[in-house]
Structure 1
Amino acid sequence: MVRGTCLITGGTGYIGSFTVLELLQNDYDVVVVDNLYNSFDEVVNRIELISGKRPAFENVDITDASAIEAVFAKYPAIDSVIHFAALKVRFPLTGVRCARAAVGESSEIPLDYYFTNVYGTLNLLKSMAKHNVYNIVFSSSATVYGDATRFPNMIPIPEDCPLGPTNPYGNTKMTVELAITDFINSQRTNLKKAGKDAEADKWNGALLRYFNPAGSHPSGIMGEDPQGIPFNLLPLLAQVATGKREKLLVFGDGKTVISLEVPFQSSSNQPLSGPYSTRHRLDLTLSSPFTDYASHDGTAIRDYIHILDLSAGHLSALNYLRDHHPGVRAWNLGTGRGSTVFEMVKAFSAAVGRDLPYQVVGRRAGDVLNLTSNPSRANQDLGWKATHTLEDACEDLWRWTKNNPEGYRQAPPKEFVEALKKGEKPPVEV
């Protein structure tokens, strides 16, 4: 029995595609909207291969209001939305250097981010209102919190931590949260004024703030395949492991200077005294692996959540909206366990079977030390909890990367497909 029909914007992206898979495997029909800006439509074939079900797909940009409206008109069964489509920040809060990290793309072209992320969402909300599509799950971000260490007792970060994004990308996510909140509240208020209390309660929104997604599908045929430079730490490490990248660049001080003052000695090994005595200053510059974050190993701390747990969290949030009608509510989706960049390098190196090279480089102004979630609200409200380990994420990602070096631009390994069809584990390697 079909539970409902969900429109998923950005549904061919990393998190979006896994959420499409999760919904299809749990009795939802799915309509995917994506302009393929940073993804591939081949993922739709992989979703069908794994689930035995194929989502509808529309190549549509959410900033095109008429095209979005046409999708709702074409699929009148749509009764809920999960919204991923957005321009994503080019310098993620991972503590590693990637594309244009010195200033960040969202700081260079903020209007592009506002146009896509905010205006695109407004188009979506208008069509939802017109077609009485009551529930929306929004893919927000931990970036809305900014640096939570500026407040006492806010690590791990709870949902009531004051918001304070530190870049335009985070600002757009916070703005969309506010827009959805105002939209849902106004729909409820206006309907109640009209004496339609039962219909008013149907309007609901979930604001999902998550941290650092990681991992791939255990089958080895579906994973993260960004066009260009990866946004996230583990795919960067995967590129190092496959030789596409020489080494990982880790944010930190990059150098530590130790100054020593040493008195000159006479030929008899006695310190010189009087007007001829002097002391020599010796500066030693120490490079990698020294870093200057206030963590136990000097690198930034992040909460890494397996993509399967994250996609399951979206399903849980959607079901909660449909069953409990909470209005608008925010939930953190994370493990509650923070890992440093060096710990992640060690974990992924273990999955690969060799130490991966890295270099500590200059720390970027405004970097956040610790982004670890407090997921207790989601645990209690949604009955959801992250169950996969960091080792699972590393092993799954390495299986995907090693056997699909060109990602979705190549056919999946035949041995993996056969194992999937037989319900067996994929081979260790092909």
Structure 2
Amino acid sequence: MANLLITGGAGFIGSHTCLVFLEAGHELIVIDNFINSSPEAIKRVVQLADAHHRLTLVEGDICVEADVEKAFTSFRRKNFLFHSSIDAVIHFAGLKAVGESRTNPLDYWGVNVNGSYTLLKVMAAHGCRTIVFSSSATLYGYPQRVPIPEDAPIAPINPYGQSKAAVEQLLADLAASETGWRIARLRYFNPVGAHPSGMIGEDPCGIPNNLFPFISQVAAGRRINLKVFGNDWPTFDGTAIRDYIHVLDLAAGHLITLETLLSEKPQMLTLNLGSGVGLSVLEVVAEFEAVCGQPIPYEIVTRRFGDAAKTVADSSLAETRIGWRTTRNLTEMCRDGWAWQSANPYGYAN
């Protein structure tokens, strides 16, 4: 089993991935500054996995070199074995709201790019050269063809996507400059859902930026209605189509990717992680209504800048290269998301 550092491990995707890695028997150090997450998520992960002695939580900022150093040395102190070290890093930490990135671009370049630079610098100093990076389908911008393959043009249209593209380029430059690096760049589409227990899930700060948590909060009575951005798109029902992936399928993708990196020669993998199935906004609303047993009121508003009519992944490379594909459908995404929301109407603040 591997000794892993998980950055941003208390977040939505990070917490579910921590659970999957613990269930697989790995030892974890989690670093998080809790700006948009909660330490309660880690407490619940440990409880679900019954792994109280295999996860150490470090409160820290990846932009601060001393904090990253503290995370690396925490594992050694924990095990009292000075020859023990971090075998690999799973890198989630960063800012992720597209709209916010337009109003605060310095924050996004500072955290997402500078934080990644600092992390990689400390990794190199400690001889750790294996990393799985949390990238995003937003770097494809307006896709020229759908489904979108990994070799599609990189043309982000907002600072968030541009910061992800910059880190991907940094990783490529690093791999080209020095042998021995094992790197995976995983381009997510739209992670949703939650753990079926309802104990961990997505807990956005403030008004949600994404469809699923907004629908969930409307169903729970926290929001009056859902705003649907446009019903005049060139799609079958006029609403935008997206590729949704259950967060546990995404977490499993990280586990399989890491196993591939550690078992093969040094390389750089670039993979889309999506379902390959396009679902419209109104299809998602209808399914969530069926699952929660109540109507989801919505209103049609004007389109948002930067939205595309249809964004769907071509994830065939992930299936052929590492043997990964999604296993959960829309009903399960809605069911698990509602289990989380109904059990935690105000998220971890409960």
- Shift of residue 408, structure 1, vs aligned partner: 1.6
Equivalent residues in 2 for 1:392-403 (5 A)? Answer: 392-403=332-343
Deviations 1:131-171 (A, max 9, x none): 011210000000011111xx2xx211110111100100000
Q: What corresponds to 1:67 in structure 2?
A: 67
Alignment of 1:66-215 (within 5 A): 66-76=66-76, 77-89=85-97, 91=98, 104-148=99-143, 151=144, 154-188=145-179, 200=180, 203-215=181-193
Q: Unaligned 5+ residue runs, structure 1?
A: 92-103, 189-199, 253-290, 411-430
Q: What amino acid does structure 1 have at the position aligned with 2:94?
A: A
1:187-211 deviations in Å (ceiling 9; x for gaps): 21xxxxxxxxxxx3xx210000011
**Distance in 1, Cα, partners of 2:265 & 2:17:** 21
Separation (CA, whole Å) in 1 of partners of 2:125 and 2:6: 18
Give the match for residue 195 of structure 1. none
Q: Which of 209, 225, 230 is the aligned partner of 2:208?
A: 230
| Residue 364 (structure 1) shift | 2.1
- 2:326 is matched with which residue? 386
Residue identity opposite 2:86 in structure 1: I
2:81 matched residue in structure 1: none
Give the one of 25, 28, 31 matched to 2:26: 28
Residue of structure 2 equivalent to 1:244: 222
1:345, distance to aligned residue in structure 2 (A): 0.6
Deviations 1:286-343 (A, max 9, x none): xxxxx11111011111000001100000111111111113511210111100101111
Preserved contact between residue 189 and residue 273 of structure 2 (Cα < 8 Å): yes
Q: Distance in 1 between matches of 2:121 and 2:178?
A: 11
Equivalenced residues, count: 340
Name 1:216's counterpart in structure 2: 194
Q: Distance in 1 between matches of 2:209 and 2:306?
A: 18
SS class of match (2:87): strand
Q: Name the counterpart of 1:416.
A: none
Counterpart in the other structure of 2:291: 351
Distance 1:43 1:367 in 2: 31
CA contact (8 A) 1:297 1:340 kept: yes
Q: Contact 2:15 / 2:200 at 8 angstroms: preserved in 1? A: no
Contact preservation (8 Å) 1:185, 1:327: no
Q: Could you say which structure has the larger radius of gyration?
A: 1
Q: What is the aligned counterpart of 1:11 among 9, 12, 24?
A: 9
Q: Distance in 2 between matches of 1:184 and 1:32?
A: 25
- What's the offset of the Cα at 1:348? 0.6
Does the aligned pair in 2 maintain the 1:220–1:403 contact within 8 Å?
yes
Superposed CA offset, 1:255-281 (max 9, x none)? xxxxxxxxxxxxxxxxxxxxxxxxxxx
Moved more, 69-78 or 337-346: 69-78
Q: Distance in 1 between matches of 2:209 and 2:103?
A: 17
Percent identical: 47
1:67 positional shift: 1.5
Superimposed CA distance per residue, residues 202-232 of structure 1 (whole angstroms, 9 cap, x where no aligned partner):
x210000011111111112111112212232
Give the TM-score normalised by structure 1.
0.77
Give the Å deviation of 1:385.
1.1
- What is the distance in 1 between the residues matched to 2:208 and 2:3? 31
Amino acid aligned to 1:61: D
In the other structure, the counterpart of 2:58 is 58
Task: Please tell me whether residue 366 in structure 1 is matched to residue 306 in structure 2.
Answer: yes
Deviation, 1:183, is 1.1
CA distance in 2: counterparts of 1:308 and 1:326, whole angstroms: 27
Whole-Å separation in 1 of the counterparts to 2:265 and 2:217:
44
**Counterpart amino acid of residue 234 in structure 2:** A
Q: Distance in 1 between matches of 2:305 and 2:348?
A: 36
Alpha-carbon contact 2:29-2:74 (below 8 Å) kept:
no
Separation in 1, partners of 2:306, 2:329: 30
Query: Do the aligned partners of 1:305 and 1:334 also contact (CA within 8 Å) in 2?
Result: yes
The structure-2 alpha-carbon separation of the partners of 1:161 and 1:326, relative to structure 1 and needing over 3 Å to count, comes to farther
Conserved 8 A contact 1:332-1:374: yes
Asked whether the 8 Å contact 1:11–1:33 carries over to 2, the reply is yes
User: Structure 1 pair 227/364, CA: closer, same or farther in 2 (3 Å)?
Assistant: closer
Counterpart secondary structure, 1:169: helix
Q: Distance in 1 between matches of 2:11 and 2:227?
A: 25
